[in-house]
Amino acid sequence: MSSNKTNPTPAKTAKQSARVTKQPAQPKSQQPRLYERFHWTQRIAHVLLLTSFTLLGITGLPQKFPLVGWAQAMITFFGGIEKTRLIHHISAVVLMFLAIYHILDIGYKIFVRRTSLSMLPTMKDIKDALQAFLYNLGFGRARPQMGRYTFEEKAEYWALIWGTVIMGITGFMMWNPIFTSKLLPGATIPAAKAAHGGEALLAVLAIVVWHMYGVHIKTFNKAMWTGKQTEAEMLHEHPLELADIKAGLAERSVDAGRLRKRKMVYFPIAFVLAAVMLFGVYGFVIGEKTAITTILPIASPVAVYVPQTPTPMPTSLPTATSAAGASDALTWDATVRPLFQEECGMCHGAALASNGLSFATYADTLKGAKNGAVIVPGKADTSKIIMIQSAGNHPGQLSPEELAKVKDWISKGAPEN
């Protein structure tokens, strides 16, 4: 009996070894500690910002380069220029709502919570940027030690703030040109268009090149999605903040009584500010309706009116003089120039002509765009302007009657006067 207790059977030994293998490889006490970096409200705001920014980019850039093939394909994908503009405007309104929320949230953190202004640039950020630059080139001994926000994160944040302000001001000027022209010279409208498109292009390139590489490719930082970072990640990117957390200096103690008093002061002010800003967004959106609605080409021919009774008296035949006068009327000065100014002047005026194509003068029109002439006198079918307009769905689409006049004018040699 005693030998059975001291010498376990092979079956018991196998069961005991199986229990050992089933034990967790790493106890909970040794699992990496996580530090909260972003609140869930900040993560939701980031998703909304990502969505609105992406939609603004993919609907705005095709409108900046309307004659390029990929831009026309994207406009067709969105269902035409009108729907593309609608998506762009809705995304802009979402961005304005996010800006209002961010302003109120910052006010709450500063006035009520007394949060430190860790996103403000300091001289240390300049030193950190220089040290990181030297370290990446191999001339520095160590990476810079940074706190809550690195100099890269601060640069991206303030670039976003600056870009939002520029896009908001220029977007308002283009959305409400009549009101703008009452306060400022008319030349500010095309200037706003240039600034709006240039800032948009710069913002998209910054996100694709800088942000995508620094956040998603180089380190694949998931903090904005999970809200947390491991101790190793904090030690690598934010060692000074990690030291403050361990020393108990990261969070300030807030007196409940004082906190309640500050809330009672801040919430009425925030409510008034929110109402004023929302009213401004409302006026921004519905203040004016100046966009020219694009008329699609007529799919089926219009029925011609034919009187039921014959004409009692035959009409006189046209004389040679009247025929010559009708032909002479189809010239640049008499017909084509006023037509182009009315339908195409917004994108192809004297200033800021899209793709270098200007219809301001007869010489500019025949000169064409950067990639060549768009009008070949005497050859309407091979002229690029006829091919683009015949395809339809152009931002400045001519009606069938207007297109027929332009085609007839080119066929007759595109006379000036």
Q: Which residues contact 76 (CB under 8 A, 6 or more apart)?
A: 393
pLDDT of residue 20: 39
pLDDT of residue 403: 84
Average pLDDT over residues 11-31: 48
pLDDT of residue 219: 81
pLDDT of residue 401: 85
pLDDT of residue 300: 58
pLDDT of residue 49: 94
Question: Mean pLDDT, the chain, as a whole number?
Answer: 82
Banded pLDDT at 298 (limits 50, 70, 90): low
Banded pLDDT at 16 (limits 50, 70, 90): very low
For the chain, percent of residues with pLDDT exceeding 90: 39
Banded pLDDT at 248 (limits 50, 70, 90): confident
Among 142-146, 325-329, 356-360, the minimum mean pLDDT is found in 325-329
User: Given its phi and psi angles, is residue 393 left (phi above 0), alpha (psi -120 to 50 degrees) or beta?
Assistant: left
Average pLDDT over residues 251-264: 83
User: Is 246 or 123 the better-scoring residue by pLDDT?
Assistant: 123
For 375, the token pair is 């009008």
**Chain centroid offset of residue 177 CA:** 21
* Structural contact between residues 156 and 211, judged by C-beta atoms closer than 8 angstroms: yes
User: Is 132 or 344 the better-scoring residue by pLDDT?
Assistant: 132
pLDDT of residue 86: 92
Q: What is the 3-state secondary structure (H, E, C) of 49-118?
A: HHHHHHHHHHHHHHHHCCCCHHHHHHHHHCCCHHHHHHHHHHHHHHHHHHHHHHHHHHHHHHHHCCCCCC
pLDDT of residue 58: 95
User: Is 305 or 119 the better-scoring residue by pLDDT?
Assistant: 119
- The DSSP symbol for 23 reads S
Q: Is the pLDDT of residue 26 over 80?
A: no
pLDDT of residue 321: 47
Banded pLDDT at 164 (limits 50, 70, 90): very high
pLDDT of residue 325: 47
Among 250-254, 304-308, 330-334, 407-411, the minimum mean pLDDT is found in 304-308
- The SS3 of residue 35 is strand
Helices (H), 108-213: 123-136, 151-175, 177-183, 188-205
Delimit the domains of the chain by residue range: 34-286, 327-411
pLDDT of residue 84: 93
- The SS3 of residue 370 is coil
Q: Is the pLDDT of residue 162 over 60?
A: yes
31-73 confidence digits (pLDDT tens): 778 989 899 999 999 999 999 999 999 999 999 998 889 999 9
Q: Is the pLDDT of residue 190 over 70?
A: yes
Among 107-116, 298-307, 375-384, the minimum mean pLDDT is found in 298-307
pLDDT of residue 359: 79
Which CATH class, in words, describes the domain spanning 34-286? mainly alpha
- The DSSP symbol for 210 reads I
User: Is 13 or 88 the better-scoring residue by pLDDT?
Assistant: 88
The model's pTM: 0.62
User: Is 309 or 45 the better-scoring residue by pLDDT?
Assistant: 45
pLDDT of residue 293: 60
Q: Is the pLDDT of residue 17 over 50?
A: no
Average pLDDT over residues 123-144: 92
Among 35-39, 157-161, 330-334, the minimum mean pLDDT is found in 330-334
Which letter, b or e, does each residue of 4-32 get, where b requires 16 or more Cβ atoms within 10 Å of its Cβ? eeeeeeeeeeeeeeeeeeeeeeeeeeeee
373-409 confidence digits (pLDDT tens): 888 888 888 888 888 888 777 777 888 888 888 888 8
Q: Is the pLDDT of residue 252 over 50?
A: yes
| Of the candidates 294, 388, 291, the residue with the CA atom closest to the CA atom of residue 79 | 294
